[in-house]
Structure 1
Amino acid sequence: MAVIAPPRQPDSRDAESTVEPDRGGEALIEEAKQHAKLRRRRVAVTAVVASLAVVLATGLAFGFAGATSERGPEPAVTKAELVPAYPVASAELVASFYTHWGTGLGDNFKYVYDDGRVVSTNGAGGWQQQRLTPGGLELLRAGITASGILGPDRYVGPLQGIGSGAFVQLRVDGVLTAAWQPWPAVDEIDAFNQVIGQLIRFGDWLPADAWAQRETTAYVPPGYAVCAEVMRADRGVFATTADRDAALAHLPEDAAAVLAAGPRFLTFDAQVDAYIASGSTPSSDVIGCRHLTPAQAQSVVDALVTAWPGWGRRVLLAERETNLVMSTRIPGVGRVGVTFGPMLPHGVPEFAMYG
């Protein structure tokens, strides 16, 4: 099941939050030290404690008033064989963060990988990447854990079927565990946002030596998930593989030929279940989509710009900060659309970015 995020819109509140957390997190600071020590990373934890103080102090005060929610339901999975119909990941996702502009924290996506890569976008144009050292990665883990945001009495569970303005995920014992904004418990949202607002800005509290590469460089996706469909009035019904194939008949010939030759992503429900069991959460949106190289995907965009009225000028995928959706209305058919989602290092396209 796909996670439903609120629509991306420009807003003057996209500046970083200026909320100051409560001071005084000695117990959690010590806990962060222990987490780093247990992983036997030779990192100067003492020097980091001061930098983490803001985050961990926030965590100490992180107690939702009247929180009564229980752990979310576990996903139903099967033991089905997983056919490798989607690209193999180049790295394992360790942690991820999301805040929507409506939280007042800005529109942000950040993904942290086991090779230290930090891939992010903040709506300012394009995907960027940095890299943490192994020690920096462990300090980030420790900070997330010590904040208390993933405590057993929080809104914690597998990130699946959740509509939320913000979330944080951390891989714990090999499984991604998520805490999401306690919507619609309005009295608890501010407390949650204060913590996640500190965590997502980990560049502010990690020390300089936690970074192997602190300067941002452009993230160049290895490929794109490209999904064609005859768009339905009911957006709660996802396109099937047959729907995707039928849509190709309504595309320009050159575009349809490139898509038809591309390898597929997930093609049936058992594969989705098995993918979830492997520790990831794919969006149903990827079923029947095709995986194309950047050059192939751009050629499809160019063909659509030429054939479909209303575009007028070339659209460059490399300059996009998020997925591209192109559509046109065809008489007797309806609205036909094609979505282009840049692939992230863990083998998931941007529009299924919650896994």
Structure 2
Amino acid sequence: MKYISEYRNAGVVKKLLAEIEATVTRAWMLMEVCGGQTHSLVKNGILNMLPDKITMVHGPGCPVCVTPKSMIDQAVALALRQDVIMCSFGDMVRVPGSSKSLMQARSEGGNLRVVYSPLDAIKIARENPDKEVIFFAVGFETTAPANALAVLQAAKLNLNNFSVLVSHVLVPPAMEAILSDEFNTINGFLGAGHVCSVMGLHEYYPLAEKYKIPIVVTGFEPVDLLEGILMAVRQLEAGIATVENQYARVVRNTGNLQAQAVIQEVFKVADREWRGIGVIPQSGYKVREKYQLFDAEHKFSETKNIKVQELDAGCIAGEILRGIKKPVQCPHFGKGCTPLNPLGAPMVSSEGACAAYFHFSQAYETTS
């Protein structure tokens, strides 16, 4: 197939659903890792089309959703400095911290700029030499190369008024944290295609071997997801546990070696806190010492020693992110927690499971 419409073809979808129905003989629980996959599953009604024996649960694959309150609080504190221009992607500005969001900080006088690329922040720094320009670098491995390139560009230009506030997290350690959880009941994973397009597949083989669990890397269209589900079910029914690549049109086994080199030049692996999950060892990136001039956490005292309670009372975001519960099982869902007034981060981003269920009401009413 060459065109995106082919991955949404109703005839192909029906054929794959029939194959899944013919293959599955017992109950299996699969987790899709990426928020983009969650959004597509819910939006396209795939959850309602699958056989009853297959249950899909939604993982911590939305970087907005897993950014901890402490990082939001750091960004807010920096945004409120008179000498700072805080730059961020738009999906981060409404994420609630312990007391306020970046958008609320702007209403209190903070200089917040929504940008489409970290290189936009570089441009702002060049145009405002009297200001400290900080880019809020959030995301999985997918966005890390561009953020690393921004640091390299700032170093090349001797742009000492530019820095990044880094909250990068890594997918494989999160998958392992879920698999090692005492409440884990997951039988297989749909791996995040965009992450694997950068990092390749090698990190997933040890997980499949250690936990005896199929991992099928997929794309984001209905045909991608259903084909990935079929591949996972075939493995489970045959008693096989290995890594398969459904998204071969984008993902290579080695990934993007140039992107990986840029990441390794600027960042190092470190422990990271995940909203709703806690600290996962070696699950994120930090700026290397050689580039600490461009590291906002090193540069500004406002980032030091911020520790907050991660979950609000009654919010089950942590259980949702770990695949233990679904959004409709939260007592606040659609009532005290909506996209306009989110209680938990999974309701903020369009890729968050709670927001996906909220926006596509037919999907969550029939899967609740």
Task: State if a TM-score over 0.5 links the two structures.
Answer: no
Taking structure 2 as the reference length, what is the TM-score of the superposition? 0.23
Higher helix share: 2
Taking structure 1 as the reference length, what is the TM-score of the superposition? 0.23
